[in-house]
Amino acid sequence: MKTIETDCDMASIKIHTKDVSLFFGNGVGDFANQVKILSKKEKVPKNVEFLGHFTVKTEAYLSFYDCDNSIAYTFKPGRYFVSLVPNKCIFYIELIDQDIHA
């Protein structure tokens, strides 16, 4: 598992490409977020809330800060699920599969 700390002024984490930005809210406010990117063998722990998903066709990026495009992590092609530990700023992002047409 890779853990990345991100900052925010919109109470979220930012996933972006050159054309689009996605924001997943932390439900708490403008605090530092921990983003845990799981390997294929790792599972999301219990007691997390599913927030949504995104599909990457070529590359997408996790930003270090939700108000700019700084690159903290690069996502390769595939479908990803985003989950959050309730009342904490801890996100889990897991690769579900490489089916970019689903």
pLDDT in tens, 37-65: 998 889 999 999 999 999 999 999 999 99
> In 3D, which of 18, 3, 22 has the Cα closest to residue 89?
3
Residue 37 bridge partners (DSSP)? 2, 93
CA gap 84, 26 in Å, rounded: 7
The confidence score (pLDDT) of residue 44 equals 94
Arithmetic mean of pLDDT over the chain? 95
Torsions phi, psi for 13 (to 5 deg) = -105, 155
The residues near 46 (Cβ < 8 Å, ≥ 6 apart) are none
